[in-house]
Amino acid sequence: MSEPTIFTRIRTGEIPGEILAETDRVFVLRDIAPQAPVHLLVIPKTEQYRDVVELAAGDPTLLAEIVEVAGKVAREHADGDFRLVFNTGPHAGQTVFHVHAHVLAGGLDEKSVG
Ligand code: 5GP
């Protein structure tokens, strides 16, 4: 067995972290290094999927649940508008290989990505 990921270690209470919500299958963690006024991570409890491409292929229902929970927490912690970012691969900035969605919200400027 490989070591638990940083996100699992936070979820199980081994190391501290601010968990804001959870369902049977996902939990919401406040990012330790926020890139927006509200920066939350929606993370599956399973470590099975490294990134969103694997998740979409393996469990699209779980991916849909991540999107649904992202919308819910964006309404609870900001005005409901948000960016959803999945860094996918090290050259795209992914550092934790336990799939997670960044929810960026609250006072974003109007310039979109791209
Ligand atoms: P990635 O770079 O893989 O897309 O995103 C990983 C995210 O996890 C980063 O935004 C980083 O700030 C966050 N992160 C890394 N370690 C911790 C931690 O110990 N606690 C919390 N709350 N967030 C973390």
Domains of the chain, by residue range, sit at 6-105
Residue nearest to atom 1 of ligand 1 (CA): 94
2 backbone dihedrals φ, ψ, rounded to 5°: -80, 165
Q: Which residues of 65-78 are buried (b: 16+ CB within 10 A; e: fewer)?
A: bbeebbbbbbeebb
* Nearby residues of 96 by Cβ (< 8 Å), 6 or more positions away: 5, 6, 7
Q: Average pLDDT in the 67-95 region?
A: 98
89-100 pLDDT, tens digit per residue, is: 999 999 999 999
CA 105 – CA 35 distance, rounded (Å): 9
Substitution candidate for ligand 1 out of 5, 7, 31, 97 with most atoms within 8 A of CB: 31
**ipTM of the predicted assembly exceeds 0.85:** yes
- 79 CA from centroid of ligand 1 (Å): 23
18-29 pLDDT, tens digit per residue, is: 999 999 999 999
pLDDT at residue 109 in the model:
73
pLDDT at residue 108 in the model:
81
- Residue 19 near residue 31, CB atoms below 8 Å: no
- Residue 38 near residue 105, CB atoms below 8 Å: yes
- 20 CA from centroid of ligand 1 (Å): 15
- Grouping H, G, I as helix, E, B as strand and the rest as coil, residue 1 is coil
100 is catalytic: yes
pTM beyond cutoff 0.80: yes
- The CATH superfamily of 6-105 is HIT-like (3.30.428.10)
Question: Which residue spans within 4-77 are E strands per DSSP?
Answer: 19-22, 26-30, 38-44
Q: Which amino acid is it at 113?
A: V
Substitution candidate for ligand 1 out of 96, 102, 104 with most atoms within 8 A of CB: 96
